[in-house]
Protein backbone atom coordinates (compact mmCIF):
# COMPACT_ATOMS: atom_id res chain seq x y z
CA UNK A 1 0.00 0.00 0.00
CA UNK A 2 1.31 3.44 -1.00
CA UNK A 3 -0.68 6.57 -0.28
CA UNK A 4 0.06 10.09 -1.54
CA UNK A 5 -0.98 12.93 0.77
CA UNK A 6 -1.63 16.49 -0.43
CA UNK A 7 -1.92 19.57 1.82
CA UNK A 8 -2.76 23.09 0.58
CA UNK A 9 -5.09 24.50 3.26
CA UNK A 10 -3.00 27.55 4.19
CA UNK A 11 0.49 28.74 3.22
CA UNK A 12 2.32 25.44 2.74
CA UNK A 13 2.15 23.33 -0.42
CA UNK A 14 3.04 19.82 0.67
CA UNK A 15 3.02 16.29 -0.76
CA UNK A 16 4.07 13.10 1.01
CA UNK A 17 4.16 9.37 0.33
CA UNK A 18 3.50 6.87 3.14
CA UNK A 19 3.38 3.09 3.07
CA UNK A 20 0.57 1.01 4.61
CA UNK A 21 2.28 0.99 8.04
CA UNK A 22 2.43 4.78 8.11
CA UNK A 23 6.17 4.96 7.41
CA UNK A 24 6.98 8.31 5.81
CA UNK A 25 8.82 7.65 2.53
CA UNK A 26 8.85 11.35 1.57
CA UNK A 27 7.39 14.59 2.90
CA UNK A 28 8.12 17.72 0.87
CA UNK A 29 6.96 21.16 1.90
CA UNK A 30 7.13 24.29 -0.26
CA UNK A 31 6.65 27.11 2.23
CA UNK A 32 5.18 30.42 1.05
CA UNK A 33 6.17 32.27 4.21
CA UNK A 34 8.56 34.59 2.36
CA UNK A 35 5.77 35.62 -0.06
CA UNK A 36 3.42 36.58 2.77
CA UNK A 37 5.98 38.12 5.13
CA UNK A 38 5.78 41.65 3.65
CA UNK A 39 2.06 41.69 4.57
CA UNK A 40 2.53 40.42 8.14
CA UNK A 41 0.17 37.46 7.59
CA UNK A 42 -1.23 35.10 4.98
CA UNK A 43 -2.89 36.78 1.96
CA UNK A 44 -5.48 34.26 0.62
CA UNK A 45 -5.21 35.26 -3.07
CA UNK A 46 -1.43 34.97 -3.05
CA UNK A 47 -1.71 31.60 -1.30
CA UNK A 48 -4.01 30.18 -4.00
CA UNK A 49 -1.79 31.32 -6.85
CA UNK A 50 1.34 29.95 -5.15
CA UNK A 51 -0.34 26.57 -4.57
CA UNK A 52 -1.29 26.46 -8.24
CA UNK A 53 2.34 26.94 -9.26
CA UNK A 54 3.82 24.62 -6.66
CA UNK A 55 1.40 21.70 -6.55
CA UNK A 56 2.54 19.68 -9.58
CA UNK A 57 6.29 20.05 -8.98
CA UNK A 58 5.90 19.24 -5.28
CA UNK A 59 3.90 16.08 -6.07
CA UNK A 60 6.36 15.00 -8.76
CA UNK A 61 9.37 15.57 -6.48
CA UNK A 62 7.73 13.86 -3.51
CA UNK A 63 6.88 10.74 -5.52
CA UNK A 64 10.45 10.65 -6.88
CA UNK A 65 11.94 11.20 -3.40
CA UNK A 66 9.95 8.20 -2.16
CA UNK A 67 11.61 6.14 -4.89
CA UNK A 68 8.33 5.18 -6.53
CA UNK A 69 6.36 6.12 -9.67
CA UNK A 70 2.90 7.69 -9.87
CA UNK A 71 1.58 4.38 -11.21
CA UNK A 72 2.66 2.61 -8.00
CA UNK A 73 0.30 4.67 -5.83
CA UNK A 74 -2.74 2.88 -4.39
CA UNK A 75 -4.58 5.87 -2.93
CA UNK A 76 -4.53 9.64 -2.53
CA UNK A 77 -5.51 11.69 0.54
CA UNK A 78 -6.14 15.42 0.41
CA UNK A 79 -7.01 18.13 2.94
CA UNK A 80 -10.60 19.08 2.07
CA UNK A 81 -11.05 21.57 4.95
CA UNK A 82 -11.05 23.60 7.07
CA UNK A 83 -8.84 26.32 5.61
CA UNK A 84 -8.67 29.04 2.98
CA UNK A 85 -11.21 28.01 0.36
CA UNK A 86 -9.17 29.10 -2.67
CA UNK A 87 -6.12 27.30 -1.34
CA UNK A 88 -8.07 24.13 -0.55
CA UNK A 89 -9.65 24.10 -4.03
CA UNK A 90 -6.25 23.86 -5.69
CA UNK A 91 -5.26 20.77 -3.68
CA UNK A 92 -8.65 19.10 -3.94
CA UNK A 93 -8.98 19.62 -7.72
CA UNK A 94 -5.42 18.40 -8.27
CA UNK A 95 -6.00 15.33 -6.10
CA UNK A 96 -9.29 14.55 -7.82
CA UNK A 97 -7.74 14.66 -11.28
CA UNK A 98 -4.80 12.55 -10.20
CA UNK A 99 -6.85 9.88 -8.39
CA UNK A 100 -9.43 9.72 -11.17
CA UNK A 101 -6.74 9.43 -13.82
CA UNK A 102 -4.91 6.69 -11.91
CA UNK A 103 -8.21 4.98 -11.07
CA UNK A 104 -7.43 4.87 -7.34
CA UNK A 105 -9.46 6.07 -4.33
CA UNK A 106 -9.27 9.61 -2.97
CA UNK A 107 -9.82 10.17 0.76
CA UNK A 108 -10.81 13.65 1.93
CA UNK A 109 -9.12 14.53 5.21
CA UNK A 110 -10.05 17.10 7.82
CA UNK A 111 -6.89 19.15 8.39
CA UNK A 112 -7.36 18.89 12.17
CA UNK A 113 -7.64 15.12 11.96
CA UNK A 114 -4.24 15.27 10.28
CA UNK A 115 -2.81 17.25 13.21
CA UNK A 116 -4.50 14.97 15.78
CA UNK A 117 -2.69 11.85 14.58
CA UNK A 118 0.60 13.57 13.61
CA UNK A 119 2.39 12.89 16.95
CA UNK A 120 2.34 9.18 16.08
CA UNK A 121 4.39 9.65 12.90
CA UNK A 122 8.12 9.04 12.85
CA UNK A 123 10.68 10.21 10.36
CA UNK A 124 12.21 6.74 10.39
CA UNK A 125 9.97 3.74 10.56
CA UNK A 126 6.32 2.81 10.83
CA UNK A 127 3.81 4.94 12.71
CA UNK A 128 3.61 4.41 16.49
CA UNK A 129 0.62 2.31 17.61
CA UNK A 130 -2.13 4.35 19.18
CA UNK A 131 -3.66 3.32 22.53
CA UNK A 132 -7.40 2.57 22.77
CA UNK A 133 -7.98 6.09 24.04
CA UNK A 134 -5.81 9.20 24.03
CA UNK A 135 -6.09 12.98 24.20
CA UNK A 136 -4.58 15.35 21.62
CA UNK A 137 -4.03 19.03 22.29
CA UNK A 138 -3.98 20.83 18.92
CA UNK A 139 -2.43 24.29 19.09
CA UNK A 140 -1.84 26.02 15.77
CA UNK A 141 -2.36 29.33 14.02
CA UNK A 142 -6.07 28.66 13.60
CA UNK A 143 -7.00 26.18 16.31
CA UNK A 144 -6.72 25.53 20.03
CA UNK A 145 -8.61 22.45 21.20
CA UNK A 146 -8.28 19.28 23.20
CA UNK A 147 -9.67 16.16 21.49
CA UNK A 148 -10.63 12.80 22.98
CA UNK A 149 -9.90 9.93 20.56
CA UNK A 150 -11.09 6.35 20.91
CA UNK A 151 -10.04 3.51 18.65
CA UNK A 152 -8.63 5.88 16.03
CA UNK A 153 -12.18 6.59 14.90
CA UNK A 154 -14.35 8.32 17.53
CA UNK A 155 -13.12 11.89 17.74
CA UNK A 156 -14.68 14.25 20.27
CA UNK A 157 -13.74 17.90 20.68
CA UNK A 158 -13.63 18.65 24.42
CA UNK A 159 -13.03 22.38 24.26
CA UNK A 160 -12.15 25.26 21.99
CA UNK A 161 -11.16 28.88 22.17
CA UNK A 162 -13.78 31.57 22.63
CA UNK A 163 -11.71 33.98 20.56
CA UNK A 164 -8.14 33.84 19.20
CA UNK A 165 -6.08 30.70 18.62
CA UNK A 166 -2.75 30.26 20.44
CA UNK A 167 -0.57 30.67 17.35
CA UNK A 168 -2.58 33.68 16.22
CA UNK A 169 -1.84 35.44 19.54
CA UNK A 170 1.87 34.62 19.26
CA UNK A 171 1.81 36.10 15.74
CA UNK A 172 -0.14 39.26 16.67
CA UNK A 173 1.92 40.12 19.76
CA UNK A 174 5.13 39.46 17.82
CA UNK A 175 3.94 41.69 14.99
CA UNK A 176 3.23 44.50 17.47
CA UNK A 177 6.81 44.44 18.72
CA UNK A 178 8.16 44.43 15.18
CA UNK A 179 8.94 40.75 14.65
CA UNK A 180 8.39 39.12 11.26
CA UNK A 181 5.63 36.59 10.53
CA UNK A 182 5.28 33.90 11.86
CA UNK A 183 5.91 35.32 15.31
CA UNK A 184 5.83 32.13 17.41
CA UNK A 185 9.39 31.01 16.69
CA UNK A 186 10.65 34.62 17.06
CA UNK A 187 9.07 35.01 20.50
CA UNK A 188 10.48 31.66 21.57
CA UNK A 189 13.99 32.67 20.47
CA UNK A 190 13.80 36.06 22.22
CA UNK A 191 12.39 34.45 25.39
CA UNK A 192 15.54 32.40 25.91
CA UNK A 193 17.36 33.79 28.93
CA UNK A 194 14.39 35.99 29.84
CA UNK A 195 12.63 35.87 33.21
CA UNK A 196 9.24 34.12 32.78
CA UNK A 197 8.02 35.39 36.16
CA UNK A 198 8.83 39.09 35.78
CA UNK A 199 5.49 40.11 34.23
CA UNK A 200 2.22 38.48 35.40
CA UNK A 201 -0.84 38.10 33.20
CA UNK A 202 -4.29 37.14 34.47
CA UNK A 203 -5.52 33.59 33.88
CA UNK A 204 -9.02 33.84 32.34
CA UNK A 205 -11.69 31.71 34.03
CA UNK A 206 -15.29 31.23 32.91
CA UNK A 207 -17.58 29.68 35.55
CA UNK A 208 -20.03 28.35 32.98
CA UNK A 209 -17.31 27.13 30.57
CA UNK A 210 -14.34 26.00 32.68
CA UNK A 211 -12.71 24.22 29.73
CA UNK A 212 -12.82 27.04 27.18
CA UNK A 213 -9.60 28.70 26.13
CA UNK A 214 -9.52 32.46 25.68
CA UNK A 215 -6.43 34.30 24.50
CA UNK A 216 -7.72 37.70 23.41
CA UNK A 217 -7.46 39.18 26.92
CA UNK A 218 -3.85 38.03 27.16
CA UNK A 219 -3.19 39.51 23.72
CA UNK A 220 -4.59 42.92 24.76
CA UNK A 221 -2.71 42.95 28.08
CA UNK A 222 0.52 41.94 26.35
CA UNK A 223 0.15 44.64 23.72
CA UNK A 224 -0.64 47.23 26.39
CA UNK A 225 2.46 46.24 28.36
CA UNK A 226 4.59 46.19 25.21
CA UNK A 227 3.48 49.75 24.50
CA UNK A 228 4.35 50.87 28.06
CA UNK A 229 7.76 49.23 27.80
CA UNK A 230 8.27 50.74 24.34
CA UNK A 231 9.18 47.31 22.95
CA UNK A 232 8.27 48.24 19.39
CA UNK A 233 11.49 50.30 19.28
CA UNK A 234 13.39 47.03 19.16
CA UNK A 235 16.23 48.12 21.45
CA UNK A 236 14.53 47.67 24.84
CA UNK A 237 16.25 45.48 27.47
CA UNK A 238 12.84 44.18 28.52
CA UNK A 239 12.21 42.19 25.34
CA UNK A 240 13.49 38.85 26.64
CA UNK A 241 11.60 39.09 29.96
CA UNK A 242 8.45 40.18 28.13
CA UNK A 243 8.59 37.26 25.67
CA UNK A 244 9.40 34.73 28.41
CA UNK A 245 6.53 35.99 30.61
CA UNK A 246 4.07 36.03 27.70
CA UNK A 247 5.05 32.49 26.71
CA UNK A 248 4.68 31.45 30.35
CA UNK A 249 1.14 32.87 30.50
CA UNK A 250 0.13 30.90 27.40
CA UNK A 251 1.52 27.73 28.97
CA UNK A 252 -0.26 28.45 32.27
CA UNK A 253 -3.64 28.59 30.58
CA UNK A 254 -3.01 25.48 28.50
CA UNK A 255 -1.97 23.47 31.56
CA UNK A 256 -4.90 24.80 33.58
CA UNK A 257 -7.41 23.51 30.97
CA UNK A 258 -5.56 20.23 30.57
CA UNK A 259 -5.76 19.71 34.32
CA UNK A 260 -9.52 20.37 34.31
CA UNK A 261 -10.01 17.84 31.50
CA UNK A 262 -7.79 15.36 33.30
CA UNK A 263 -9.81 15.65 36.53
CA UNK A 264 -12.95 14.59 34.65
CA UNK A 265 -11.51 11.74 32.55
CA UNK A 266 -8.79 10.21 34.73
CA UNK A 267 -11.24 8.43 37.03
CA UNK A 268 -13.06 6.68 34.17
CA UNK A 269 -12.47 2.94 33.71
CA UNK A 270 -11.26 3.47 30.13
CA UNK A 271 -9.29 6.64 30.96
CA UNK A 272 -6.94 7.92 28.23
CA UNK A 273 -3.39 6.64 28.62
CA UNK A 274 -1.58 9.12 26.41
CA UNK A 275 -1.52 12.86 25.80
CA UNK A 276 -0.45 13.92 22.32
CA UNK A 277 0.58 17.44 21.36
CA UNK A 278 0.09 18.76 17.81
CA UNK A 279 0.05 21.85 15.58
CA UNK A 280 2.61 24.53 14.80
CA UNK A 281 2.84 25.80 18.39
CA UNK A 282 3.79 22.23 19.45
CA UNK A 283 7.26 23.11 18.13
CA UNK A 284 7.70 25.41 21.15
CA UNK A 285 10.41 23.89 23.34
CA UNK A 286 9.28 25.51 26.63
CA UNK A 287 5.74 24.29 26.11
CA UNK A 288 6.93 20.80 25.18
CA UNK A 289 8.93 20.60 28.40
CA UNK A 290 6.00 21.75 30.52
CA UNK A 291 3.59 19.28 28.86
CA UNK A 292 6.09 16.48 29.31
CA UNK A 293 6.52 17.32 33.00
CA UNK A 294 2.77 17.54 33.49
CA UNK A 295 2.33 14.11 31.88
CA UNK A 296 5.08 12.48 33.94
CA UNK A 297 3.47 13.76 37.14
CA UNK A 298 0.14 12.18 36.13
CA UNK A 299 1.67 8.90 34.94
CA UNK A 300 0.41 9.45 31.41
CA UNK A 301 2.58 9.01 28.31
CA UNK A 302 3.22 12.19 26.35
CA UNK A 303 3.55 12.03 22.57
CA UNK A 304 5.46 15.02 21.29
CA UNK A 305 5.54 15.30 17.50
CA UNK A 306 8.80 15.49 15.61
CA UNK A 307 9.40 19.10 14.46
CA UNK A 308 8.75 18.23 10.80
CA UNK A 309 5.23 17.07 11.66
CA UNK A 310 4.21 20.03 13.88
CA UNK A 311 3.57 22.68 11.26
CA UNK A 312 1.44 21.94 8.21
CA UNK A 313 2.64 18.94 6.23
CA UNK A 314 1.21 16.30 3.91
CA UNK A 315 2.57 13.30 5.83
CA UNK A 316 -0.05 13.83 8.53
CA UNK A 317 -2.75 14.13 5.85
CA UNK A 318 -1.66 10.87 4.18
CA UNK A 319 -1.67 9.17 7.60
CA UNK A 320 -5.19 10.35 8.47
CA UNK A 321 -6.22 9.23 4.94
CA UNK A 322 -4.73 5.81 5.62
CA UNK A 323 -6.79 5.52 8.82
CA UNK A 324 -9.89 6.50 6.81
CA UNK A 325 -9.13 3.86 4.19
CA UNK A 326 -8.85 1.29 6.98
CA UNK A 327 -12.27 2.38 8.24
CA UNK A 328 -13.77 1.51 4.84
CA UNK A 329 -14.56 4.92 3.37
CA UNK A 330 -15.54 4.76 -0.32
CA UNK A 331 -12.89 7.07 -1.75
CA UNK A 332 -14.80 8.13 -4.87
CA UNK A 333 -12.75 11.08 -6.22
CA UNK A 334 -15.85 12.69 -7.74
CA UNK A 335 -17.54 13.03 -4.34
CA UNK A 336 -14.83 15.08 -2.63
CA UNK A 337 -15.35 18.80 -2.16
CA UNK A 338 -13.43 21.59 -0.44
CA UNK A 339 -15.00 23.28 2.59
CA UNK A 340 -13.60 26.27 4.44
CA UNK A 341 -15.37 25.18 7.65
CA UNK A 342 -15.56 21.60 8.74
CA UNK A 343 -16.23 19.85 12.07
CA UNK A 344 -13.93 17.10 13.31
CA UNK A 345 -15.53 13.67 13.23
CA UNK A 346 -18.15 14.76 10.63
O1 LIG B 1 -0.05 24.26 12.31
P2 LIG B 1 0.47 25.49 11.64
O3 LIG B 1 1.65 25.36 10.74
O4 LIG B 1 -0.63 26.16 10.76
C5 LIG B 1 -1.98 26.20 11.09
O6 LIG B 1 -2.69 25.21 10.79
O7 LIG B 1 -2.34 27.22 11.70
O8 LIG B 1 0.76 26.55 12.81
C9 LIG B 1 1.35 27.81 12.56
C10 LIG B 1 1.44 28.57 13.87
C11 LIG B 1 1.87 30.02 13.71
O12 LIG B 1 0.97 30.83 14.44
C13 LIG B 1 3.26 30.07 14.34
O14 LIG B 1 3.59 31.30 14.93
C15 LIG B 1 3.15 28.98 15.38
O16 LIG B 1 2.41 27.96 14.76
N17 LIG B 1 4.48 28.47 15.79
C18 LIG B 1 4.99 28.62 17.03
C19 LIG B 1 6.29 28.03 16.99
N20 LIG B 1 6.51 27.53 15.73
C21 LIG B 1 5.38 27.81 15.02
N22 LIG B 1 4.50 29.19 18.13
C23 LIG B 1 5.28 29.19 19.24
N24 LIG B 1 6.52 28.66 19.29
C25 LIG B 1 7.07 28.07 18.20
N26 LIG B 1 8.29 27.55 18.25
ZN1 LIG C 1 -2.37 23.27 10.59
What residues contact 150, with CB distance under 8 A and at least 6 apart?
132, 133, 270
Sheet holding 274-278, edge to edge: 154-157, 144-150, 133-139, 274-278, 301-303
Q: Is the CB of 83 under 6 A from ligand 1?
A: no
Domains 2-123+309-335 and 133-305 share a fold: yes
The ligand whose atoms approach the alpha carbon of 189 most closely is 1
pLDDT in the model for residue 346: 65
Report the residue count for the chain.
346
Q: What residues have CB less than 8 Å from 322, skipping those under 6 apart?
A: 1, 3, 18, 20, 22, 75, 77
Number of the ligand closest to the Cα of 283: 1
Is the alpha carbon torsion for 35, 340, 150, 271 positive or negative?
positive
**How many Å lie between the centroid of ligand 2 and the Cα of residue 271?**
27
pLDDT value of residue 328:
85
C-beta of residue 343 within 8 angstroms of C-beta of residue 111: no
The predicted structure's pLDDT at residue 37: 87
d(CA 344, CA 340): 13
Packed helices 44-65 and 85-102: angle between N→C axes, nearest 10 degrees: 30
Q: Would you list the domain boundaries of the chain?
A: 2-123+309-335, 133-305
pLDDT given at position 235: 76
pLDDT per residue over 163-188, tens digit each? 999 999 999 999 999 999 899 999 99
Q: How close is the Cα of 94 to the center of ligand 1, in Å? A: 26
Atom of ligand 1 nearest to the CA of 83: 6
Average pLDDT of adjacent 10-residue blocks, the chain of 346 residues: 97 97 98 88 92 98 98 98 97 98 98 98 96 98 96 96 97 96 96 97 96 98 97 88 98 98 96 97 98 97 95 97 92 96 86
Contact 121, 315 (CB under 8 A): yes
Name every residue whose Cβ is closer than 8 Å to that of residue 313 and which is 6 or more positions away in sequence: 7, 12, 14, 16, 27, 29, 118
CA–CA gap between residue 189 and residue 246 (Å, rounded): 13
* pTM of the model as a whole: 0.95
Nearest to 254, CA basis, from 161, 129, 323: 161
Note the CATH number of domain 2-123+309-335: 3.30.420.40
* Helices within the chain (DSSP H only): 33-36, 44-65, 85-102, 111-117, 166-176, 183-191, 216-228, 239-265, 285-297, 314-326
- Residue 167 Cα to ligand 1 midpoint, Å, equals 5
For domain 133-305, give its CATH number from 2.40.50.1020, 3.30.420.40, 3.30.160.20, 3.30.300.130: 3.30.420.40
**Which SS3 state, helix, strand or coil, does residue 33 take?**
helix
Amino acid sequence: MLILGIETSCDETSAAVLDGDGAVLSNLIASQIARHQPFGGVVPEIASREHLEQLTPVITQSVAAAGVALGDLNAVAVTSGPGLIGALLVGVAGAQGLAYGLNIPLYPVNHLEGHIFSPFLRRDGSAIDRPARFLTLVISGGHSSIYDIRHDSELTMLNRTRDDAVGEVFDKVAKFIGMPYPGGPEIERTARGGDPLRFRFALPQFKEEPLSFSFSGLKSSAIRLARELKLADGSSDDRADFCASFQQAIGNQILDRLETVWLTVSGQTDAPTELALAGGVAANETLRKRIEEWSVNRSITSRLPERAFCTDNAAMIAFAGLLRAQRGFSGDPRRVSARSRMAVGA
